[in-house]
Amino acid sequence: MQEWILKTYPAMRHKAFRLYFYASMIGMLGLWVNITGQQWLVYTLTKSPLKLGLLGAAQFLPTLLLSLHAGVVIDRSDKRKLVMCTQAASMCIAWVLAYLVWSGHVMYWQVLVLAVISGFVVTFDLPARQALLAELVGDDKIQNAVNLISVTINLARFLGPAIGAYLINQYNIAVCFTFDGLVYVPVIFMLSMISIAPMEKVVEESKDMLKEIRAGLSYAKGNFAISFSLVVIGIVSVVLWNYSVTMPIFAADILHGAVTDFGILSASLGAGSLVGAFCASTFLQKRPSLKMIGIFAALFHISYGLTAFSTKTTPATIGFFIMGIFSILFLNTANALIQLEADSEFRGRVMSLFTLVFFGVTPVGNISVGWFLDYVPAYMGVRLLPVISAFLIVVALYVFKYRKIA
Report DSSP state, residue 130.
Answer: H
pLDDT of residue 189: 94
In this predicted model, what pLDDT tens digit does every residue of 185-240 receive, in sequence order?
Answer: 999 999 999 887 665 555 455 567 888 888 889 999 889 999 999 999 999 999 99
Instruction: Determine the average pLDDT of the residues in 21-26.
Output: 91
> Is the pLDDT reported for residue 170 higher than 60?
yes
Which among 181, 148, 125, 183 is positioned nearest to 359, based on CA atoms? 125
What angle do helix axes 224-239 and 378-405 make, rounded to 10 degrees? 170
Summarised one tens digit per residue, pLDDT across range 352-363 is 999 899 888 877
Residue 288 is predicted with a pLDDT of: 84
Are 240 and 304 in contact, with CB atoms under 8 Å apart?
yes
Alpha carbon distance 66, 86 (integer Å): 15
* pLDDT surpasses 90 at 91: yes
CA angle, 173 then 56 then 82, to 5°: 85
Q: Are 347 and 75 in contact (CB under 8 A)?
A: yes
388, 304 contact by CB (below 8 A): no
Q: Which domains, ranges and CATH numbers included, belong to the chain?
A: 1-206 (1.20.1250.20), 224-341+376-406 (no CATH)
User: Percent of the chain having pLDDT more than 90?
Assistant: 36
The DSSP-derived string for 180-215 is: HHHHHHHHHHHHHT---PPPPP-SPP-S-HHHHHHH
Tens digits of residue pLDDT in 286-330: 788 899 999 999 999 999 999 999 888 899 999 999 999 999 999
Q: What is the residue-averaged pLDDT of the chain?
A: 86
The answer on pLDDT for 93 being more than 70 is yes
Measured in degrees and rounded to the nearest 5, phi and psi for residue 309 equal -90, 0
* Side chain identity, residue 339: Q
Read off the pLDDT band of 121 (50, 70, 90).
Answer: very high
Residue 275 in this model has a pLDDT that exceeds 60: yes
